[in-house]
Amino acid sequence: MIPSLIRGYDRSWAVGTVACTALFATGISLWSVMVSDRLPAELATHWNEQNIAGGFEPLFGINLLLSLTAIVLCALVCGLAIARRGASALLARVGVGLGVFFSLGVNAMHLTLIASQRDAPDPARVTMNPALMIPTVGLAALAGLLAFIFYRPQPAA
């Protein structure tokens, strides 16, 4: 039912946002595999309030989980926003902007998680690098804002 609600221009936006998210997620995963010899066997994935690592995952699991999360999040949020564009054009634009921001934000976290642990001798002592996280999340926010600005929903057929 949803594919029949998304036609032409709006379908291009739906496919484009998911394709861009998938491209970034795939690029980050491929890059992480290329630098895997510089990463610990298991990477830190969770930290407590004292910034001490307490959860660990292998690289394959991190790549799979975060890539799929970004892609599915983008498909759900952007797809539903575009499908519901007839109810409110403004809400559709906000939904597309948020979908882009959230999905690229997951990609930003994925990139920061991998980059922060390169050449780390002990993953238990690794912390997330705010010098990398702030600009990458900032770029995700900028992309979401641009998606909000440039997406102009067409009336539902």
Render pLDDT for 79-109 as a digit per residue (tens, 0 to 9).
Answer: 999 988 888 899 999 999 999 999 999 999 9
The single residue listed with the structure tokens 């920061």 is 112
157 touches 7 (CB < 8 A): yes
| Confidence at residue 1, expressed as pLDDT on a 0 to 100 scale | 43
Bridge partners for 46 per DSSP: 55
The confidence band for 11, taking pLDDT boundaries of 50, 70 and 90, is confident
pLDDT tops 70 at residue 14: yes
86 touches 155 (CB < 8 A): yes
Contacts for 93 with CB less than 8 Å, ≥ 6 apart: 81, 148, 151, 152, 153
Scored b (16 or more CB within 10 A) or e, 90-129 reads eebbbbbbbbbbbbbbbbbbbbbbbbbbeebeebeebebe
Render pLDDT for 21-80 as a digit per residue (tens, 0 to 9).
Answer: 999 999 999 999 999 999 998 999 988 888 788 889 999 999 999 999 999 999 999 999
Answer whether 0.85 is exceeded by the pTM: yes
> What's the rounded Cα separation, in Å, for the pair 53 and 122?
10
